Amino acid sequence: MFMDSLKRLQVPAVLTALINDTTGTLIASNYVDPNTKIAVIFGTGCNAAYMETAENIPKMSEVGLPPKQGMAINVGTLSDNELTVV
């Protein structure tokens, strides 16, 4: 659907990943400073993302990534406009 819109609008881009603001913040910050390991966005809700290595993500074991390959893990912590104690 997204690629169809890009084609229809004649946008010369190829979609390789679709991420939310929290994961985007983490990846961009980790690129600039590899010591960045956590990102948090506080808005109408609260979301967090953290860096992990492929070897510590069991469901990624069959993908064939190098064990030390960094991966961003996104965690939705609170829903929009919900008052929740975590």
Give alpha helix (H) positions in 33-83: none
Q: What is the pLDDT of residue 20?
A: 86
Phi, psi of 51 (to 5 degrees): -90, 140
CB 41 within 8 A of CB 25: yes
DSSP state of 32: H
What's the pTM value of the predicted model, to 2 decimals?
0.67
Q: What is the C-alpha to C-alpha distance for residues 39 and 77, in angstroms, rounded to an integer?
A: 12
Residue type, 66: P
CB 34 within 8 A of CB 53: no
Q: What is the pLDDT of residues 8-30, one digit of tens each?
A: 999 998 888 878 889 999 999 98
